[in-house]
Amino acid sequence: MNQREGFGNAAALARATGQGFDYLIVGAGFAGSVLAERLARGMGRKVLLVEKRSHIGGNAHDRHDDAGVLIHPYGPHIFHTNSADIFEYLSRFTQWRPYQHRVLAQVDGQAVPLPINLDTVNRLYGMNLTSFEMEKFLESVAEKKDRVLTSEDAVVSKVGRDLYNKFFRGYTRKHWGLDPSELDASVTSRIPTRTNRDDRYFADTYQAMPVHGYTRMFEAMLAHPNIKVMLNTDYQEVVELLPWKHMIYTGPVDAFFNYKYGKLPYRSVRFEHKTLGQQQFQPVGTVNFPNDYAYTRVTEFKHLTGQSHAATSVVYEYPCAEGDPYYPVPRPENAALYKRYEAEAEQLDNVTFVGRLATYKYYNMDQVVGQALTAFKALSEHEVSSPAPLSEHIPVRSRSEVAGAA
């Protein structure tokens, strides 16, 4: 992996030959790494990948803690997708361990399955419903809504007020710092309700974890002589130092434009990691705490990774207002603010915006990969359709405009 200490040679070579890089990619998470790999391996382009953090992989980065347990420093990342194309693409860089994530929620002194299913309701209410009776039960408690506008609407219209209060209201208020009635319906509508006993958190066709972890997968993805990686580097430090033809930006879109319309709101998370001298801490990968404690959930990584180890490591998640941007806050006023930045971004011919932060949307990992592959297709088609090299269609002066992010 080429890190910052190797950049001097790359810059000197670029100045000596006058060639530089075809693509400057900002951010080494899924979006940036997939595009770097495709452009280098798929089209033979020279790529400089710049990352502000000290590692590749973005929030999916994993590492071994001091005890040797493989952990996810930025919280649990469980891969799942319905796309055969996306799964097959990532399979070029990793083998997989089949894994189906299961979650329990501590509610009324019991640990019950989440998403809500037949067992959840039977245990909570001391009933013995069948799947058919479960459907009738949900219909009897659901609050009918003419229009489903908020997260509260989305839940109570499916499972009623009591289950909403037990599972969703407290968790949402902790996670978002807002009542569900203040958030878009999309926040809670992502979580299904099942009338059978299926206790898997996801129902996707492909559910698996990289055998050797995400970081090893990213290393394989970026192992190409046309890809140079700079870590611990803000792209604005290098954007004027060497020639490049097109930028791919995966960072916060509001930061790119120097917050000219104001900051886009995000929720952050503080992660408290603990290593314990026991083989297992909890019965499933994640346990949610909707109504108790300041943290929202606890994840035990060995469930996810399948690692055999005498110790175990867990992470407690404490939502907070300040910190790294993790979750775009889905409210109409925030969507309207993003639209102003999106309009600015669309005016830049030599910059492509890809990923969660650059498009202000909460994507699953597979969705980011899909977005990056779509962006690659568009970039390659643009090059093919251009009668001259891409660089000749980009005025040099725009590099200064990009560096100034205004």
Residue 105 has pLDDT above 50, yes or no: yes
DSSP state letter for 190: T
Q: What is the pLDDT of residues 198-230, one digit of tens each?
A: 999 999 999 999 999 999 999 999 999 999 999
What is Dmax (Cα atoms) for the chain? 77
Residue 342: pLDDT band by 50, 70, 90 thresholds?
very high
154, 135 contact by CB (below 8 A): no
Nearest to 53 by CA among 61, 64, 44, 45: 61
The more confident residue out of 196 and 402 is: 196
Residue 264 has pLDDT above 90, yes or no: yes
224, 328 contact by CB (below 8 A): no
Instruction: State the pLDDT at residue 242.
Output: 84
Distance CA 157, CA 147 (A): 10
Tokens coding 64:
């071994």
Instruction: State the pLDDT at residue 241.
Output: 87
The whole-model pTM stands at: 0.90
Q: Mean pLDDT across the chain, nearest whole number?
A: 91
Instruction: State the pLDDT at residue 191.
Output: 84
Instruction: State the pLDDT at residue 11.
Output: 58
286-288 vs 297-300, strand pairing mode: antiparallel
Instruction: State the pLDDT at residue 360.
Output: 97
User: Hey, how many other C-beta atoms are within 10 angstroms of the C-beta on 339?
Assistant: 12
Q: What is the pLDDT of residues 61-77, one digit of tens each?
A: 999 999 999 999 999 99
Instruction: State the pLDDT at residue 164.
Output: 96
Instruction: Give me the percent of the chain exceeding a pLDDT of 70.
Output: 90
Instruction: Give me the percent of the chain exceeding a pLDDT of 90.
Output: 84
Distance CA 32, CA 230 (A): 13
DSSP β-bridge partners for residue 270: 318
383, 38 contact by CB (below 8 A): no
For 390-396, what is the mean pLDDT?
36
Of the CA atoms within 13 Å of residue 353, those in its CB half-sphere come to 24
Distance CA 48, CA 35 (A): 11
Q: What is the pLDDT of residues 161-173, one digit of tens each?
A: 999 999 999 999 9
Q: What is the pLDDT of residues 144-154, one digit of tens each?
A: 998 999 999 99
Residue 404: pLDDT band by 50, 70, 90 thresholds?
very low
- In sequence order, what are the residues at sequence separation of 6 or more whose Cβ sits closer than 8 angstroms to the Cβ of residue 80? 101, 202, 204, 206, 207, 364, 366
Domains, the chain, ordered by start: 4-56+222-259+330-404 (3.40.50.720), 123-189 (no CATH)
Instruction: State the pLDDT at residue 392.
Output: 37
Residue 286 has pLDDT above 80, yes or no: yes
Nearest to 351 by CA among 388, 384, 383, 399: 399
Start-end of H helices in 203-324: 214-221, 235-238, 253-256, 301-305
> Does the bond joining 115 to the residue before it have cis omega, within 30 degrees of 0?
yes
Nearest to 159 by CA among 184, 134, 190, 185: 134
For 324-342, what is the mean pLDDT?
95
24, 248 contact by CB (below 8 A): yes
Residue 243 has pLDDT above 50, yes or no: yes
For 25-50, what is the mean pLDDT?
97
Residue 1: pLDDT band by 50, 70, 90 thresholds?
very low
Of the CA atoms within 13 Å of residue 111, those in its CB half-sphere come to 12
For 321-328, what is the mean pLDDT?
95
Q: What is the pLDDT of residues 303-319, one digit of tens each?
A: 999 999 999 999 999 99
User: 327 in helix, strand or coil?
Assistant: strand
Residue 393 has pLDDT above 60, yes or no: no
Instruction: State the pLDDT at residue 387.
Output: 37
